[in-house]
Amino acid sequence: MEHTGILKAAGLLRGDLTGGSLGVFSPIDGAEIARVTPHGQSEIEHKIGLAKQAFEIWRSVPAPRRGELVRLLGEELRAQKQNLGALVSLESGKILQEGLGEVQEMIDICDLAVGLSRQLFGLTIASERPGHAMREVWHPLGVCGIITAFNFPVAPWCWNGALALVCGCPVIWKPSEKTPLCALAVQKICDRALARFGDAPAGLIQTVVGERDAGETLTKSQDVAIISATGSTAMGRAVGGALAARFGRCILELGGNNAMIVAPSADIEMALRGIVFSAVGTAGQRCTSLRRLIVHADIYNPLLERLKSAYDGLEIGDPLAEGMLVGPLIDADAFAAMGMALAEAEADGGTVHGGQRVLEAQYPNAFYVHPAIVEMTRQTKIVGCETFAPILYVLKYDTLDEAIALQNDVAQGLSSCIFSTDVRETEYFISALGSDCGIANVNIGPSGAEIGGAFGGEKETGGGRESGSDAWKGYMRRQTNTINYSRDLPLAQGIKFEI
Ligand code: NAD
């Protein structure tokens, strides 16, 4: 489908796409596909005010009824899956299969949130005093600001939004300035769900378009109780600092530098598929992309040869075309960053295979690259950096402790994995002595998480958790209740205080 057809099918109208000052470019060919209008500070403050009013109402709507809105949202997303998936592909450059997968993740988290709306469980706790009961209950926290990155233009909004809504929190979304169209299209889908729901308060689900300053307005507002921010570690430092200064709650989902250990006992066919998907998928522009491959010395050479030939066969090109595996980088800056990283790795003694620009004649304004494999003799500074491009550094190891030490010796702590059929190795890897990451997988690559588990990572990845497990608690406040149903007033710890 032509670009204009995709925009139209996603429900975007002429007024959404023209007349603004913020240019939106498709990484597929570098063409400008829209000029959207950013919201000014006073407009954003107005939206925050509306969301605050919505909170007053929404927090007392029974949670299962709040779940009904998210159920309708899931239905609307199902109906729009193909069109929204294509828009994700057009605006972010990921292959259509991954665009559709992102929308499926939205649907999945809606399903999870609907069930959750009847399961916002607290605790009953044994009291030390006779005739007393203790409980822990969860209440909605307040307005939730959601700041997202270009590489996952829709799913992270929903990981947060679906949960926040059932938890009783209105949401305001500030998407990446590189992918505002996906957000505008999702807002329209939400508006349809809201209309079907009927009596949701105005301002419950809103979007603000803008650059960093729009995110800062949300971050600084005392009326935004929670900020969930997905993006670079640099962004997280700024957002985390601003939230700490006002004691706001923040959920940070930042950069990763993910590794795979391939042990001698690994099923090499499986490992190969795992490596290639996680290293070149989304053209290496996932927070969970595989960036460091740590291979046992005994299998290093044969694995590397297999990997190089798999890389030689990669289909690189238009991400909307059937069978394509690698789409473009997001823009010229990403291409320049890739080039600089490869040059630095080479200067550090690395041997680079691939990494060159391709399809330049066909797409002079877009940046397609052949994914790079870089053999390194040690983990240098550049290997420790998250370069958002398909660069796979390969390192050799002799002992598992050495491999785990290498894996953990970076600033980020998002995702990790081991390919091994030795249960001693795999259990050790996921034990307290093993991987220090938020995600540690066995015989699966580091990317492509399911929504059922909490998603996020440690260290410079920010420590936040989204999606499944008990991540919903991030949008609620915990309240401890002690209820005295006796006719006496005993004090805790046996303290005597007679008046
Ligand atoms: P980015 O940090 O440049 O921008 C992310 C978002 O933050 C954008 O919406 C941007 O406008 C906003 N922003 C930037 N500075 C801000 C500030 N000071 N205050 C408020 N908002 C601000 O990131 P990007 O280039 O869009 O995305 C790539 C990065 O995101 C990578 O580091 C990647 O690992 C990370 N990422 C992490 C996850 C995760 O779940 N851990 C998921 C996707 C992407």
Q: How many residues does the chain have?
A: 499
Q: What are phi and psi of 468, to 5 degrees?
A: -80, -160
**Hey, which of 230, 235, 412, 465 would you mutate to test ligand 1's pocket, going by the most ligand atoms within 8 Å of its Cβ?**
235
Q: Any bridge partners for residue 134, and if so which?
A: 125, 482
pLDDT, one tens digit per residue, over 21-34 is: 999 999 999 999 99
User: What angle separates helix 180-197 from helix 63-92, to the nearest 10 degrees?
Assistant: 150
CA dihedral 400, 406, 408, 412 (to 10 degrees): -150
Q: DSSP letter at 168?
A: T
| 295: pLDDT strictly greater than 80 | yes
Q: Is the CB of 102 under 6 A from ligand 1?
A: no
Q: What rounded mean pLDDT belongs to the chain? A: 98
Q: How far apart are the first and last CA of the chain?
A: 82
| 48: pLDDT strictly greater than 80 | yes
Q: How far apart are CA 194 and CA 187, in angstroms?
A: 10
| 306: pLDDT strictly greater than 80 | yes
pLDDT, one tens digit per residue, over 232-281 is: 999 999 999 999 999 999 999 999 999 999 999 999 999 999 999 999 99
Nearest CA to ligand 1 atom 42: 287
Nearest CA to ligand 1 atom 19: 216
Token pair in block for residue 304: 């590397």
Distance 375 CA to ligand 1 centre (A): 29
Q: How far apart are CA 374 and CA 144, in angstroms?
A: 41
User: Measuring CA to CA, which residue among 475, 474, 455 is closest to residue 256?
Assistant: 455
Helix (H) / strand (E) containing 123: strand 123-125
Residues 118-124 have a mean pLDDT of 98
Token pair in block for residue 31: 């063409």
Token pair in block for residue 337: 């960053």
| 1: pLDDT strictly greater than 80 | no
Residues annotated as part of the active site = 253, 287
| 2: pLDDT strictly greater than 90 | no
Residues 376-383 have a mean pLDDT of 98
Confidence of residue 173 (pLDDT cuts 50, 70, 90): very high
pLDDT, one tens digit per residue, over 441-455 is: 999 999 999 999 999
